[in-house]
DNA sequence: CAAAGCATGTAATCGGTTACATGATTGT
DNA sequence: ACAATCATGTAACCGATTACATGCTTTG
């Protein structure tokens, strides 16, 4: 499923400009799906070319002109096809977790910074979800998506809160054992090959 | 942070072949970071070319030959640089959630299938985590990554379990209201533009 | 007065996925 | 007998991010 399909889906909820589409799914699934203008605008052009949406130019005063898109019956067909046949993938690409996995190589201040930054990001996402839920009129799907996001994010935030200090002290111990003298750790020779995997 | 950096990180834990690197981080962060052979092998070639790892050809009988990679001091420097300067991003791209957001357009059987499939995927990921924790020797970073994954996944699984039947019945109601006759919903004209966003 | 919001688009680049190609061995 | 594991690689393609380009209005 690509961005074209998601644009079609959002247009199901009413006619919109590219700008509005982006805002909409920023509020609705920011934390589950990202897309920038660089993908949305070309997607809308293609959809127009394929007759899956229509485009109306609207002039405004005191605002830039805008292009309002509307889904066509052919577009609805295509959307249904995608909705019925897309496998429900869920991919995560977390550089944060990778960094965490190599925590033993990091100075403790850096590790603390990483954990705190991630916690702040999660808190912000949670606020976004609450905010959206208040202002959009409720529907079962919206509630479900919001609830799922909240559950996943809150679990991570709580976990980080619970283990932050523990991890920091464990990592500190570990590094003190591996580098008892004043030599920085990265100056050591590469370890012998180990099967201890 | 790209795959090259992560390969360097894994090589910090001991010398490995490309195949072993992939296995390693499949077990360690499968659910947080994916990478196929198509990215790993070229990455290792580049690292070798840049002198960040060395490569030793090892012939084996009854097995294909292999190439064992070892991180060099220059590689460690590069890794530390990346570790210290990479912002802790965390991106999710969930087609599952998008599908869920458009649940009202889906036949209930399809929706049920999606939820159940996602639940099964999560259960499998949880098993992977438990399995890895048992066989790898414990370290604070590993425990942290495993715990974080477990927390996030378990929260989602529980949420799906709690709300599955509720969502299905709500969506059923919703669709019965919108389509009281026998006409399929997608034959309706596109709605009037609405600000009810 | 500066920043954020409204509004659209293009071009270059980068990186990842997929498919293809090969082939012996071990476990079910 | 068939699937899975071990083991490496290339090439084409696709899609996404980023930077660039523009410019007025509203809010703080």
pLDDT at position A195, please? 43
Mean pLDDT of B155-166: 98
Q: Which residues in chain A are contacts of B39 at CB distance < 8 A?
A: none
pLDDT at position B180, please? 62
Q: Which value, in Å, is the radius of gyration of the alpha carbons in chain A? A: 24
At B2, the pLDDT band (50, 70, 90 cuts) reads confident
Q: Is the dihedral of CA A11, A14, A15, A18 positive or negative?
A: negative
Least confident of A176-185, B64-73, B75-84: A176-185
Closest-CA residue to A108 (of A170, A157, A182, A158): A170
pLDDT at position A133, please? 84
pLDDT at position A32, please? 94
Look at residue B196 and tell me whether its pLDDT is greater than 80: no
Mean pLDDT of B98-119: 95
Total Cβ atoms within 10 A of residue A59: 8
Q: How does pLDDT run across B82-107, given as a tens digit for each residue? A: 999 999 999 999 999 999 999 999 99
**Which stretches of chain A score pLDDT less than 70?**
179-197
- State what percent of residues in chain B have pLDDT above 90: 74
d(CA A13, CA B66): 55
pTM for this prediction: 0.88
Total Cβ atoms within 10 A of residue A122: 20
Q: Taking a contact as any Cβ pair under 8 Å apart, which residues of chain A between 114 and 173 contact chain B?
A: 114, 117-118, 121, 136-137, 139-142, 144-145, 147-149, 151-152, 154-156, 158-160, 163, 166-167, 170-171
List the beta strands (DSSP E) in A9-144: 53-58, 66-71, 90-94
Structural tokens at position A75: 């577009």
Alpha carbon separation from A189 to A192, B14, B21, B74, B191 (Å, rounded): 9, 12, 20, 11, 68
Between CA B61 and C1' C23 the distance (Å) reads 13
Structural tokens at position A132: 């959206």
List B90's β-bridge partners, or say none: A94
Whether residues B93 and A170 touch (CB distance < 8 A) is answered with no
Decide if B50 contacts A107 (C-beta within 8 A).
no
Q: How does pLDDT run across B165-176, given as a tens digit for each residue? A: 999 999 988 778
Mean residue pLDDT of chain B comes to 89
Mean pLDDT of B43-68: 92
Between CA A162 and C1' D14 the distance (Å) reads 42
């Amino acid at each position: 499923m690509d961005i074209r399909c998601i644009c079609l889906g959002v247009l199901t909820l009413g006619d919109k400009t590219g700008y509005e589409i982006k805002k909409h799914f920023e509020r609705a699934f920011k934390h589950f799906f990202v897309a920038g203008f660089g993908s949305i605008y070309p997607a809308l052009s293609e959809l127009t070319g394929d007759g899956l949406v229509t485009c109306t130019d609207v002039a405004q005063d005191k605002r830039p002109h805008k292009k309002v898109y509307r889904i066509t019956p052919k577009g609805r067909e295509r959307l249904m096809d995608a909705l019925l046949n897309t496998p429900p993938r869920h991919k995560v690409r977390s550089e944060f977790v990778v960094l965490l996995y190599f925590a033993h190589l990091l100075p403790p201040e850096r590790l603390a910074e990483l954990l705190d930054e991630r916690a702040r990001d999660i808190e912000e996402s949670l606020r976004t979800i609450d905010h959206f839920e208040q202002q959009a009129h409720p529907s079962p799907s919206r509630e479900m998506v919001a609830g799922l996001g909240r559950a996943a994010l809150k679990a991570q935030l709580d976990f980080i809160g619970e283990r932050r200090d523990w991890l920091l002290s464990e990592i500190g111990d570990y590094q003190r054992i591996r580098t008892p003298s004043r030599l920085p750790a990265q100056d050591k020779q590469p370890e012998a090959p180990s099967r201890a995997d």
